[in-house]
Amino acid sequence: MKIIIEPLSEGAEEEIIIRSNSLDSELMELIYSLKAGRSKLTAFNDDEILKLAPSDIFYFESVDNHVCACCENSVYEVKQKLYELERIYENTDFIRISKAMIVNVSKISKIVPMFNGRLEAVLSNNERVVISRQYVPDLKKKLGV
Amino acid sequence: MKFFKSFLNFFTAITTAITALVGAVTLISGYTGVSPYIPLQILCSGAVTALITAVIYSFEFRSRKHFILMTAIHYVLLCITMNAIGIMFGWIDAAVIDILMMCVDVAVVYVIVFGITYVLMKKEADELNRALNERNKKS
């Protein structure tokens, strides 16, 4: 597939044009991931309502029926359920790593083994999150291992 | 099925570690009166402790603190179980020194089993880190 990036004239809106004879599943996935990867998520913090870019989110965590979007130094509540977020960000950098967590793979700086047969992801803000064994195959698939 | 697989893995590892420990202790102490029931007793203790381990590790560890807490609970449960099994099978007397020695033995088996697991997991983590680095370089 040929990718052409053209400079924009000032004030013009960014656009992506796909030229194809058929919209196959691969192309649909690409379109879907482009849309999900760029669309901002509404988040809440006390009285504040703001839009979060997916690239700013380190991970989503479900705690006591509330779902939080955790960024580098701040935590926001989001209204979507974890399974909904998993579906929205299916073809992006986000991946489920435990029953209660979806992590942004691009924020993982390294993966370290724990003493109990589990893996732990060290994020770029030095936070550590536990990867459940059952989600390791998905992570491997995502990383192309 | 997942639980059964986990149980079998722990059963194999724990039974091997207990056998190795019993073998080493018998060899060092020069004790020759080993009971013919010992292999069955080791299998039995391996099965009970593997069941406890599989149950404990079926829980998801949300954080490092949670992991440390569960590991401590796991170790205490194993010590209680192994002391009960030890007294029942006549491996130890119900004396403080014997109970403490059994706790040390449990710690040794613990280190052997989870040390081996750690080494295996390290290989898997290295593989994932290589892929992660390649991905980060590309983006």
pLDDT at B73 over 70: yes
| Lowest-pLDDT choice from A38-42, A107-111, B80-84 | A38-42
DSSP-derived secondary structure for B13-74: HHHHHHHHHHHHHHHHHT-----TTHHHHHHHHHHHHHHHHHHHTTS---SHHHHHHHHHHH
Chain B positions in Cβ-Cβ contact with residue A120 (cut-off 8 Å)? 64
Q: For residue A116, give the nearest of B2, B57, B62 by CB distance.
A: B57
Domains of chain A, start order: 40-143 (2.40.50.1020)
Q: What does the buried/exposed string (b/e) look like for B69-99 if buried means 16 or more CB atoms within 10 Å of the residue's CB?
A: ebbeebeebbbebbbebbbebebbeeeeeeb
For residue A38, what pLDDT is reported?
64
- Cα first-last separation, chain A: 24
For residue B126, what pLDDT is reported?
94
For residue A24, what pLDDT is reported?
76
Contact call for residues A121 and A107 (beta carbons, < 8 A) = no
Mean pLDDT of chain A: 86
Residue B32 and residue B37: Cα distance in Å, rounded?
14
Per residue in A27-61, pLDDT (tens digit) is 776 776 676 666 788 999 888 888 898 889 999 99
Per residue in A86-105, pLDDT (tens digit) is 988 888 889 999 989 999 99
| Mean pLDDT, rounded, for B98-113 | 90
| Mean pLDDT, rounded, for B29-39 | 83
How far, in Å, are A45, A67, B48, B88 from residue B58 at the CA level?
34, 23, 16, 28
Mean pLDDT of chain B: 88
Q: Which of B5-14, B23-32, B64-73, B126-135 has the highest mean pLDDT?
A: B126-135
Q: A5 pLDDT band (50/70/90 cuts)?
A: confident
| Mean pLDDT, rounded, for A80-89 | 91
DSSP-derived secondary structure for chain A: ------PPPTTPPP------S---HHHHHHHHHHHHHHS-EEEEETTEEEEE-GGG--EEEEETTEEEEE-SS-EEEESS-HHHHHHHTTTSSEEEEETTEEEEGGGEEEEEE-TTS-EEEEETTS-EEEEPGGGHHHHHHHHT-
Q: What is the ipTM of this complex?
A: 0.72
User: Percent of chain B beyond pLDDT 70?
Assistant: 98
Chain B positions in Cβ-Cβ contact with residue A135 (cut-off 8 Å)? none
Residue B119 and residue B108: Cα distance in Å, rounded?
16
Residue A35 and residue A29: Cα distance in Å, rounded?
10
| Mean pLDDT, rounded, for B21-49 | 88
Residue of A64, A115, A140 to mutate for B, most B C-beta atoms under 10 A: A115
Chain A positions in Cβ-Cβ contact with residue B117 (cut-off 8 Å)? 115-117
- For chain B, say whether A141 makes contact (Cβ under 8 Å): no
